[in-house]
Amino acid sequence: MKVKIDYDLCMGDRNCNKVCPDVFQYDEDQLISRVLVDKVPADQKELVRKAARECAPGAIIVEE
């Protein structure tokens, strides 16, 4: 699984960082979240899916 963030949609509300801090990190300078990994670890996949579902603007893109 891979995950991306559409930076045009990201509101920077940090929800994904709260749900899955091992995959997402908040960029204090840009006020948006960043993806920390190239490939999502198996134990983080469900959390990444949850973060994507809870992302209000739909900025998280999951590639299975």
Q: What is the pLDDT of residues 10-32, one digit of tens each?
A: 999 999 999 999 999 999 999 99
Mean confidence (pLDDT) of the chain: 97
Taking the complete model, does pTM exceed 0.75, yes or no?
A: yes
Report the pLDDT averaged over residues 37-60.
Answer: 97
Per-domain residue ranges for the chain?
2-63
Q: Report d(CA 21, CA 8) in Å as an integer.
A: 21
User: What is the full DSSP assignment across 35-64?
Assistant: E--SS--GGGHHHHHHHHHH-TT--EEEE-
Residue listed under structure tokens 């840009």: 30
Look at the domain 2-63 and name its fold: Alpha-Beta Plaits (3.30.70)
